[in-house]
Structure 1
Amino acid sequence: MTLKRFWIWGLLLIICLAVGLTVGLALYVSRGLAPSPASETPVRVAFPSGTGVGELAAELQQKGLIRDARLFRYYVKYKGEGGRFQAGEYEMRPGLTSDAIIAMLNQGDTVKEAGLRLTVPEGFTIRQIAEKLQQSGIEPAAFEAALKRFVAPQGSAAAGIPSDPNLKARLEGYLYPDTYEWKKDAGADELVATMAAQLDKRLQELPEGWRQAMDTHGLTLHQTLTLASLIEREVAAEEERALVSGVIHNRLKQNKQLEIDATIQYLFDKQKERLFEKDLRVESPYNTYLNRGLPPGPIASPSLASIQAALYPQETKYLFYVTKKDGSRKHLFAETFEEHKKNIAESNKTASPLTRETESEKVEVPE
């Protein structure tokens, strides 16, 4: 064998060894980084603050989420990752790719701690909110104490609540109806502050110039929320909000009693199926059958739609409305009291005997 041939064969051998090593290394890395056997059973992985990628990789391997901790660590470094990993407890299912695991760690897709969740429906009163909170372990007494302690931030909606001894509940109408989530150890003070702050956030979603609209109607924010709460409690059909608002505005302009049933219902601990003449005579600043103008404050938590309707009423000549008793929960509107009485009769045609009104039970209270 000549020297030249020897070198050729030597070079070929080296190339074969290099190729073999490369292929072997590639197979090793590929298998080492391949997803672990898939499983539907989730696995919890703890990644405390200050933990290094090496320690994390070791736990991932120990929990069966990766095949090789060292390769995973090198892969993270190769990808330029690790610096954005967020501490916390994760829930992962075996079978995830390395890239999927890295993405979860970057996004901080941690296990959310079970906490306190509360949905406040539109038109709920403080009493009703307290009842819902009691089901979640917050005692009504603690909630009531938090309401009394609450100090509204300067410039917030609640900061404008008047010092009126006639107010039945100071923050009524100022706890915005929404779905909330808090940590399980959240106290009543935090709950009240969050719901009051949500009102300020939602008010920013009103059309531009809403404060000028409020001034045009000669209303304060407190009065606007009061009017909105009346709309919220009276209206079930979305398309009637602005029209009912127009009726209320008309009666206010003419200095008539508003005669709104919802203000009477607010006086009772529980909603009555039927109001009678004696109910309309209950002495209270909230009784809009006896008193002119708006009640001292809101009677419920109004939605943004009702607040907007209060600010932008529909132009109308109507002064009366009565609920249809056909199940639609819509209203019949009238310009005169005579037309209103006809509407009551029309509504009664489809009413059950228990819900039928008569002129002696519920009609216009003389001014």
Structure 2
Amino acid sequence: MKKMLRFVLLLIAAFGIAGGAGVWKVRQLAESQILIKDETIFTLKAGTGRQALGQQLYDDKIINRPRVFQWLLRIEPDLSHFKAGTYRFTPGMTVREMLQLLESGKEAQFPLRFVEGMRLSDYLRQLRDAPYIKHTLKDDRYQTVADALKFEHPEWVEGWFWPDTWMYTAGTTDVAILKRAHNKMVAAVDAAWK
């Protein structure tokens, strides 16, 4: 009977030590840096679950222990709430910081510069060449742009876009950026005429 009791106590102690070591390893992963050397753009699709996220991070060589990552999300459930989007990961970021970024929903911003003096055709070429923009204009004709922006006079499209650096997130449409530039130009002209 005493032998059995010793065996059970030894077994409980072994499980306790193994469990403590496992929790330590999981917490160590949370504070370890992600594996990237350069700034990385990461897209998390809508509906991605914990396991799919862990596998995607492993496949993209951002983390190296997907099973431990799954345990991290179980032990610290506050880290397991993430939002779909396109994010910018930086070297030196920890796994915890990465998960907090995915939870925050603060997507990567991309710049698009409309330079003063450029023609609308130049702006449209920039929009076409810019990464992560959703292209909805079927062609580069003034009439197409005028219809998309609901201009009354398509021949007046040229010159009605404020030159500036416009920031956008992945999936922003070309029309949305043009609307922002046009609305700012209209506001500036209205203010000048008051």
- Provide Cα deviations, 1:234-254, integer angstroms capped at 9, x if missing partner: xxxxxxxxxxxxxxxxxxxxx
Which structure has the larger Rg over C-alpha atoms?
1
Q: 1:118 aligns with which of 110, 114, 117?
A: 114
Residue 25 of structure 1 corresponds to 22
Percent of aligned pairs with the same amino acid: 14
Give 1:25 shift.
2.5
Q: Which residues of structure 1 form unaligned runs of 5+? A: 121-127, 153-158, 162-168, 203-300, 312-367
TM-score, normalised via structure 2 length: 0.57
Distance in structure 1 (CA, Å) of the matches to 2:15 and 2:148? 77
**Aligned match of 2:164:** 179
Q: Which residue of 1 aligns with 2:183?
A: 197
Residue 141 of structure 2 corresponds to 142
Equivalent of 1:104 in 98, 101, 106: 101
Q: Could you tell me which amino acid in structure 1 is paired with residue 83 of structure 2?
A: F
**Residue of structure 2 aligned with 1:79, choices 77, 80, 91:** 77
| 1:103-137 Cα shifts (integer Å, max 9, x gaps) | 221233445567x53144xxxxxxx453xx34445
Q: Which residue of 2 aligns with 1:339?
A: none
- Give 2:164's aligned amino acid: T
Q: Structure 1's 303 and 103: CA in aligned 2 closer, same or farther, altered over 3 A?
A: farther
**Change over 3 Å in CA distance of 1:95–1:143 after alignment to 2:** same
CA positional deviation for 1:37: 6.5
Alpha-carbon separation, structure 1, partners of 2:149 and 2:28: 61
Higher relative contact order (CA 8 A, sep 6+): 2
CA contact (8 A) 2:73 2:80 kept: yes
Unpaired segments of 5 or more residues in structure 2? 126-139
Secondary structure at 1:80 match in 2:
helix
Shift of 1:57: 0.3
The structure in which a higher percent of residues are helix is: 2
- 1: CA distance, partners of 2:50 / 2:158: 52
CA–CA distance in structure 2, aligned partners of residues 27 and 135 of structure 1: 56
Partner letter of residue 197 of structure 1?
A: N
Residue in structure 1 matched with residue 50 of structure 2 by the alignment: 53
For 1:92, the aligned partner's letter is F
**What is the SS of the residue equivalent to 2:114?**
strand
> Residues 60 and 149 of structure 1: is their aligned pair in 2 closer, same or farther, counting only changes over 3 Å?
closer
Q: When the two structures are superposed, what TM-score results if normalisation uses the length of structure 1?
A: 0.35
Query: For the residues of structure 1 that align with 2:22 and 2:148, how far apart are their CA atoms?
Result: 68
> Which residue identity lines up with residue 24 of structure 1 in the other structure?
A
RMSD over aligned Cα atoms: 4.6
Deviation at residue 100 of structure 1 after TM alignment? 0.9
- Determine the C-alpha separation between the residues in 2 that align with 1:149 and 1:98: 43
2:29–2:68 CA contact under 8 A, matched in 1: yes
Matches within 5 A, 1:1-367: 6=2, 10=6, 13=10, 16-17=13-14, 19-36=16-33, 39-77=36-74, 78-88=76-86, 90-93=87-90, 95-111=92-108, 116-120=112-116, 128=117, 130=119, 133-136=120-123, 142-143=141-142, 146=145, 151=150, 175=160, 177=162, 179=164, 181=166, 186=174, 191=178, 193-198=179-184, 202=187, 302=189, 304=191, 307=192, 311=194
Q: For the Cα contact (< 8 Å) 2:39–2:91, is it kept in 1? A: yes
* Residues paired across the two proteins, number: 173
CA distance in 1, matches of 2:148, 2:55: 50
Find the aligned partners of 2:34 and 2:50 in 1 and give their Cα distance.
22
